[in-house]
A and B are shown apart, each in its own frame.
Chain A
Amino acid sequence: MSNFRFVIGRFLGAIPTLLILICLAFLLVKSAPGGPFDFERSLPEEVEANLRAAYNLDDPVYLQLFKYIGDLMQGDFGPSFQYRDYTVTELISTGFPVSLRLGVAAILLALIFGSLIGSIAALNQNSKLDYGVMFFGMIGISIPNFVMAPLLVLFFSIGLRALPAGGYNGGDFYHMILPVVSLALPQMAYIARLTRGSMIEVLSSNFVRTAKAQGLPVRTILLAHVLKPAFLPVVSYLGPATAAIITGSVVVEQIFGLPGLGRYFVQGALNRDYTLVMGVVVFYGCLIILFNLIVDTLYGFIDPKIKQNR
C-alpha cells in the first residue's frame, strides 16, 4: 500500500515540475531572436502579417502560453511551422518510434555489455584483463559520439563496405548497428566502470567474507549475495543514462540522418519551429519524469534499506 501511495504522490508531484518546464521552455523559445518567418527572401509585410495571424503570433506571450497549455491538455501540440502540412502530434508520432528503437537498443547494449565487462574486470581485479578493459572503458567515456560515429563510418562503411553509412531504411538491423553502437559506447564504458567499482566494494564487504567463511560456492555467493547490491548504483544510473541517451541521440541521429525526434528537435530549433521544439521538450520532459519515477520505484524493490514512505 505504501508503494502505491508513493507512486501516486510522486505522480502528482510531477505536475508542477512539468508546468514549470513548459513555461520556461515556452518563454525561452519565444525570446530567441529571429522568427519562423525570417527567410533569405524576406516576406512582403502583408504576407507576413497574414502568416502571423494564422499562427496566433500577434497575441501577447502570456496569452499564447495559456492557449498552448489549454491545447496541450486536450492532447493538441499545434501545427508545425516548418512542416506546414503536418501537426506536431503527427511528427512526434512518426519520429518517436525511431528514437525509441535507437534508445532502447543502446540502453540494453550498454547495460548488458557494460555490466558484463565491469563484472569480469572486478572478478579479475588488477589483472592485465582488468587494466585492458578499464583502459578501453576510459577511451569509451572520453571520446564523444560525434567523433566516434564518423570514425566507425570511415572504418566499417567506407573502408570495409560492411555496414551502411547512414539512413534509416525502416529501421532494419544493419542500418541500426552503427548508430546504436556509437550511442551506447560512452554509456557502456561508464556502466562498466560503475559495475566494477561497486562490485569490488561488495566483494570486500563483511557479509561476503562471512559467506566465503561458511564455505558457500563462489557461484552461489555471486548470484545470491553480490549481484543485487553490486547493481544498485547501475540501476540508479539508469535515470541519468536515459537522459544522456536522449541528448546523445540528438547528435547521433543528426550524423546518421535518422528520422528521430532528436533530429526534429535540431531542425525545429534552427527553423524556429516553436511548436515542434515545444512539443519535443514537453514530450521528453514527461518521458524523463516518468522514467525517474519507474527507477525510484524499482530501487525500492531492489534495496530494502530504502524506505519509500519516508
Chain B
Amino acid sequence: MLGLILFGCGSGTDNKNATKEALIIGGLSGNELAEKQVFTKNNGSDPGTLDPHRAEGVPASNVLRDLYEGLVSEAANGDYIPGVAESWNISQDGKTYRFTIREGAVWSNGDKVVAEDFVFSLRRSVDPKTLSNYSSMLYPIKNARDVVLGKAPTDRLGVSAEGEKTLIIELEEPTPYFISLLTHSTTYPVHPPTVKEHGPLFTRPENMVSNGAFTLKDWRIQDYILLSRNERYWDDTNTTLSEVYYYPLDNPDASLRRYRANELDFTDTTPSEQLPWIKKNLKEELKITPYFGSYYYGFNNSKPPFKNNPELRIALSLAVNRTIITDIVLGAGQIPAFTFVPPVKEYQGTQPEWAKLTQEEREDLAEELYAQAGFDKNNPLSIEIIYNTSENHKRVALAVASMWKKVLGVETKLRNQEWKVFLETRRLQEETEIFRGGWIGDYDDPYTFSELLHSENEMNHSGYASAEYDALLKSASLKPAGKDRTGDLLQAEQIMLNDMPVIPLYFYVSQHLIKPWVVGLEGNVMDHHYSKYVKILKTETLTSE
C-alpha cells in the first residue's frame, strides 16, 4: 500500500508554472519509519516540578507518564493494562489489593523495582512533609487521611511489602476506581536511594532515576523538556522513539504557528478564533475526541436570590439553548450537557424530563417557573456572571446573557477576573452570584464529579448542601463496582438536577493538531497519551513541474 500523499502548491510561484509538491508519508508500504525518531509536543506550560508526588496539573502529568510507570498503565485507547505490576487480585470485600511486581521491572540505573519501593513512595506521597498538593487523591488508602492531616505516622499507611515481589494495599472502603488512581502520578514509585541522597534535587536531569519508557535528559526551564529512550525499560523492544521534546508554549496562536512551521508534531489545544481556518485547511490533522470534562455555571446557593429558590435556578437553566453554545459559539464539537457528570464507561447520566422537550417548550416552562419565583419582564431579575478572563468564556457568557434576556428579560452583568483572582472570589463565595465552573475528572469514574457537590467538599463553590445527596454518595462509597453503586450515583445526580445548584452547559472535547506522520496515538476520554506508543513515519517531498 502506498503511503498517505498530500498535495500542495509551492508558494512564491505564479500559477502558470506552479510546482506541484507531493508529500509522501510512510514510503511505499505506508508504514516505513523515519530515520530520526524524535517527537515534538507542545505541552501548554512548564510543570512546576517533575517530582511525581508534588506535581500538579495536566502538563506535569503528561511528562511524568513518560518518565515513570505506576503499578497500572494504560493502552493507547485508555484501557487499563498491567504496568509495573504484572498482575493483581482483589479480596472478596474489595478492600485488599495484592500486586505482583513484574519480573524485569528495573530503574534506569539498573536497580530492580521492588515492592518496598512502592511502600517508600506511597508513604512519601502522603507524608505532610512532602508538601504534596494532591495527597488527598490517596484518601481511599487505609489511614491515608490521618497521615496527610498529620494525625498518624506514615508507617500507619495501609501499604506493605511481602518480599520483593508482592505489594499489599489496604483500602478504607471498596473503591472501584482505585485501579485508575494507580495511573496517577501521586502513586508512581520514586527511586528511594536517589531521593534520600539528593532530596528535592532528585528531579534534576543529572540526578533523576526513573522507571518509565523514557528518562529525563534535559530540562531547560521555559524552553523545553527533553526525554530520551530508557533502554532498560522492561518493554523497550516496543518503544520506537528515541527522543521526545515537550515545549511549554502557553499561547495557542504561537503553538499553531510553530506547528505550521513544522516545529511541532502535536499541539495541546487549538486557538478557538482560528478554528474555522483550521477546519478548512488542516481538517485531516485536527483530532477531536470527547473529553472527561464538564463546563457549567454555578449558582451561589447560600445567598439570595438563589438560596432556597429551585424554581428560579431551573428557569435559568431551561432558558439556555445549549445547542447554540456548542455549535455556534464554540464549534469544536462540544456536546450539549443536561447532566453534570459526563458519560463514562457504564455510567450514562439519566437525562432529566425537560431535556426531552424542544427548546421552545423548555422556554415556555422557564417562563412559568420564573413567574413562580416572583419575577416577570416588568420586574426582572438582575444578576452577575463572573468568569475568568478568556475569549471563550466571554463568548459563552454573552450568549447565555442574551438568551436569558430574550426568554425571561433577565438583566445580566458580566464580570471577568484574572485566573487567580477568580479562584479566590469563587472559593470565598462572598460576592459570587453566578460563576463559571469547569472540571476535568481526575480518574474515569463518575465519583470524581459527584463529590464536587458534596456539602463538605472544598471544591463545592456553589454551597449546595443536600443531606439526601450526601447520603447517597456515602452509600455508593461503601459499595463495590456494579449496578448498585452506579444506581446510587445516578439517583444522587437526579436529586441534584431537581435542585439545580449548577447549570450544566456542555461536555468538553480534547482538540489536538497531529502531523500526518505521527502514528500510534489514539483519542481517549482522559486525554492520556504515552509516547512509548508513538512512531514517526518517513516523509519524502516529491516536486514536479
Given the contacts A44-B458, A85-B204, A39 and B263 also touching, CB distance less than 8 Å: no
- Which residue on chain B has the smallest CB distance to residue A159? B11
Q: For window 41-90 of chain A, which residues contact chain B by CB distance below 8 Å? A: 41-47, 50-51, 54, 82-86
**CB of A197 within 8 A of chain B?**
no
Taking a contact as CB atoms under 8 Å apart, the answer to whether A39 and B222 are in contact is no
Taking a contact as CB atoms under 8 Å apart, the answer to whether B247 and A257 are in contact is yes
Q: For window 272-291 of chain A, which residues contact chain B by CB distance below 8 Å? A: 272
Q: For window 238-297 of chain B, which residues contact chain A by CB distance below 8 Å? A: 247-251, 253-254, 257-258, 260-263
CB distance from A153 to the nearest CB of B (A): 5
Question: Using Cβ atoms and an 8 Å threshold, which residues of chain A touch B458?
Answer: 42-45
**CB of A270 within 8 A of chain B?**
yes
**CB of A6 within 8 A of chain B?**
no
Question: Using Cβ atoms and an 8 Å threshold, which residues of chain A touch B260?
Answer: 158, 165
- Highest count of chain A CB atoms <10 Å: which of B48, B136, B220: B48
**CB of B304 within 8 A of chain A?**
no
Q: For window 148-198 of chain A, which residues contact chain B by CB distance below 8 Å? A: 150, 153-154, 157-161, 164-168
**CB of A33 within 8 A of chain B?**
yes
Question: Using Cβ atoms and an 8 Å threshold, which residues of chain B touch A85?
Answer: 49-51, 200-201, 203-204
> What interface size band does chain B fall in?
35 or more
Which listed residue (A33, A50, A83, A160) contacts B49, Cβ 8 A? A83
Question: Using Cβ atoms and an 8 Å threshold, which residues of chain A touch B150?
Answer: 46, 50
Q: For window 195-238 of chain B, which residues contact chain A by CB distance below 8 Å? A: 200-201, 203-204, 220-224
Question: Using Cβ atoms and an 8 Å threshold, which residues of chain B touch A42?
Answer: 427, 458-459
Taking a contact as CB atoms under 8 Å apart, the answer to whether A84 and B249 are in contact is no
CB distance from A118 to the nearest CB of B (A): 33
CA A140 to CA B5, docked complex, whole Å: 42
Taking a contact as CB atoms under 8 Å apart, the answer to whether B221 and A35 are in contact is no
**A-B CB pair tally, cutoff 8 Å:** 149
Given the contacts A95-B221, A157-B257, A158-B260, A38 and B424 also touching, CB distance less than 8 Å: yes
**CB of B477 within 8 A of chain A?**
no
Q: For window 99-117 of chain B, which residues contact chain A by CB distance below 8 Å? A: none
**CB of B339 within 8 A of chain A?**
no
CA A202 to CA B54, docked complex, whole Å: 64
Question: Using Cβ atoms and an 8 Å threshold, which residues of chain A touch B200?
Answer: 84-85
Question: Using Cβ atoms and an 8 Å threshold, which residues of chain A touch B424?
Answer: 33-35, 38
CB distance from A203 to the nearest CB of B (A): 43
Question: Using Cβ atoms and an 8 Å threshold, which residues of chain B touch A51?
Answer: 131, 133
Taking a contact as CB atoms under 8 Å apart, the answer to whether B49 and A257 are in contact is no
CB distance from B424 to the nearest CB of A (A): 4
Q: For window 453-505 of chain B, which residues contact chain A by CB distance below 8 Å? A: 458-459
Binds B, one of A213-221, A228-236, A259-267, A302-310: A259-267
Taking a contact as CB atoms under 8 Å apart, the answer to whether B221 and A94 are in contact is yes
Which listed residue (B149, B222, B422, B425) contacts A263, Cβ 8 A? B222
Taking a contact as CB atoms under 8 Å apart, the answer to whether B420 and A84 are in contact is no
- Which residue on chain B has the smallest CB distance to residue A33? B421
CA A71 to CA B427, docked complex, whole Å: 33
CA A168 to CA B423, docked complex, whole Å: 33
Interface membership of chain A positions 114-129, coded 1 if the CB is closer than 8 angstroms to chain B and 0 otherwise: 0000000000000000
Question: Using Cβ atoms and an 8 Å threshold, which residues of chain A touch B203?
Answer: 85
**CB of B366 within 8 A of chain A?**
no
CA A161 to CA B260, docked complex, whole Å: 10
Q: For window 244-270 of chain A, which residues contact chain B by CB distance below 8 Å? A: 254-260, 263-264, 267, 270
Given the contacts A33-B421, A42-B458, A50-B131, A95 and B222 also touching, CB distance less than 8 Å: yes
**CB of B82 within 8 A of chain A?**
no
**CB of B300 within 8 A of chain A?**
no
Taking a contact as CB atoms under 8 Å apart, the answer to whether B263 and A165 are in contact is yes
Taking a contact as CB atoms under 8 Å apart, the answer to whether A150 and B257 are in contact is yes
**CB of B531 within 8 A of chain A?**
no
Taking a contact as CB atoms under 8 Å apart, the answer to whether A259 and B133 are in contact is no
Given the contacts A46-B150, A85-B51, A34 and B254 also touching, CB distance less than 8 Å: no
Taking a contact as CB atoms under 8 Å apart, the answer to whether A83 and B420 are in contact is no
Interface membership of chain B positions 44-59, coded 1 if the CB is closer than 8 angstroms to chain A and 0 otherwise: 0110111100101100
CA A86 to CA B46, docked complex, whole Å: 13
CA A255 to CA B254, docked complex, whole Å: 6
CA A263 to CA B221, docked complex, whole Å: 10
CB distance from A41 to the nearest CB of B (A): 7
Question: Using Cβ atoms and an 8 Å threshold, which residues of chain A touch B134?
Answer: 41
**CB of B163 within 8 A of chain A?**
no
**CB of A91 within 8 A of chain B?**
yes
Taking a contact as CB atoms under 8 Å apart, the answer to whether A46 and B222 are in contact is no
- Which residue on chain A has the smallest CB distance to residue B136? A44
Question: Using Cβ atoms and an 8 Å threshold, which residues of chain A touch B221?
Answer: 83, 86, 91, 94-95, 259, 264
Question: Using Cβ atoms and an 8 Å threshold, which residues of chain B touch A167?
Answer: 223-224, 247, 258, 263
CA A267 to CA B420, docked complex, whole Å: 12
Q: For window 135-154 of chain B, which residues contact chain A by CB distance below 8 Å? A: 135-136, 148-150
Question: Using Cβ atoms and an 8 Å threshold, which residues of chain B touch A164?
Answer: 261, 263
**CB of B511 within 8 A of chain A?**
no
CB distance from B194 to the nearest CB of A (A): 13
Taking a contact as CB atoms under 8 Å apart, the answer to whether B427 and A38 are in contact is yes
- Which residue on chain A has the smallest CB distance to residue B128? A50
CA A153 to CA B256, docked complex, whole Å: 11
- Highest count of chain A CB atoms <10 Å: which of B136, B425, B438, B439: B136
- Which residue on chain A has the smallest CB distance to residue B259? A165
Which listed residue (B249, B257, B421, B427) contacts A158, Cβ 8 A? B257
**CB of B93 within 8 A of chain A?**
no
Question: Using Cβ atoms and an 8 Å threshold, which residues of chain A touch B136?
Answer: 44, 47
Q: For window 507-531 of chain B, which residues contact chain A by CB distance below 8 Å? A: none
Rank and list the top 10 A-B pairs by shortest CB-CB distance, nearest first. Answer: A34-B420, A259-B222, A259-B223, A165-B261, A38-B423, A84-B49, A42-B458, A33-B421, A157-B261, A34-B424
Given contacts A44-B149, A85-B50, A259-B222, 13 further A-B contacts (CB under 8 A): A34-B420, A40-B438, A41-B459, A45-B458, A47-B128, A47-B135, A47-B136, A50-B150, A84-B48, A161-B261, A167-B223, A167-B224, A264-B221
| 16 contacting pairs across A/B (C-beta < 8 A) | A33-B425, A35-B424, A40-B423, A40-B438, A47-B131, A82-B48, A84-B200, A86-B221, A164-B263, A165-B263, A167-B258, A167-B263, A257-B254, A257-B258, A258-B222, A272-B420
Interface residues of A (CB under 8 A from B): 32-35, 37-47, 50-51, 54, 82-86, 91, 94-95, 150, 153-154, 157-161, 164-168, 254-260, 263-264, 267, 270-272
